[in-house]
Amino acid sequence: MNTLFNFGDVYKDFSVIAREILPHGFNVLKVPITNTPVYFDDSIQIVSACYGAALVKDALIGLNFLGRLKKEDTIIGLGSNGSLKEKIKLNDLLVPSYISCEYYGNAGRVFLPDYKIMKSIKKNIENRNLKVKEYNHGSVYAVFDEHTNHKNYTNSLYPAGEVDCIDCSESYILAKFARENGLSFGILLYASDDPKNHIANLKKEEFDKRALNFDLLLNKIGYEVLNNK
């Protein structure tokens, strides 16, 4: 089944998103082991947010075990990342040109999103009179990964200038799973912080409100892309 797979805080209530995206009604299941809620109708499923490589992988394997991901399905990863570059600012909409990871034995192995999916995502955003940026994506294993200097916003895993943004390996794990299981995939994220707007300094109320608005926007875009593929 075509899938919108969300990254982020596992305590978010994605039934709010499902009611907006699937207005004609939906069913709910929970992925074995992770208990991740999945909201679905006859054609599309929305996976509630998963944080970090392990939870994303377990949820994907659980969906596969249930027969809910099959070859030639499309999966779109949705969430946020942190910008290491001045050119990518807080709240920018982003699609990666490539996705890399220096953890879990993946060093040197890069994945490219499906061009058709990426093009469709960009076109949908532009049709909304919004801007979207392409960038080079890297991975860490946690927000406060020891390789990331949050004072000057650099990451020692990657040579200076090699990657523009990082997340906690969620995008990479989804990309790897998709390639190994014959799925087409795309990634759409927004910048949740940048070198001037540090995630640790953002007020929780502001962060949560912004996150909900972006979760809704990203899922709307993803839903339209899947319905028009």
User: pLDDT value at position 25?
Assistant: 94
Which residue in 33, 35, 53 sits closest to 143, CA to CA? Answer: 53
> What predicted TM-score, i.e. pTM, was given to this entire model?
0.96
| First vs last C-alpha separation in the chain | 13
Look at residue 150 in the predicted model and tell me its pLDDT. 81
Q: Give me the residues of the chain with pLDDT under 70, please.
A: none
pLDDT score recorded for residue 145: 87
Per-residue model confidence (pLDDT) at position 204? 79
Which CATH number is associated with domain 2-227?
Answer: 3.40.50.1580
> pLDDT tens digits, residue range 181-198?
999 999 999 999 999 988
**C-alpha to C-alpha distance for 227 and 229, rounded to whole angstroms:** 6
Report pLDDT for 76. 98
DSSP 8-state assignment for residue 111: B
Question: Which element (helix H / strand E) includes 139?
Answer: strand 132-139
pLDDT at 203: 79
The confidence score (pLDDT) of residue 71 equals 94
pLDDT attached to residue 209: 85
Q: Any idea where the domains of the chain sit in the sequence?
A: 2-227
Residue 216 in contact with residue 23, Cβ under 8 Å? Answer: no
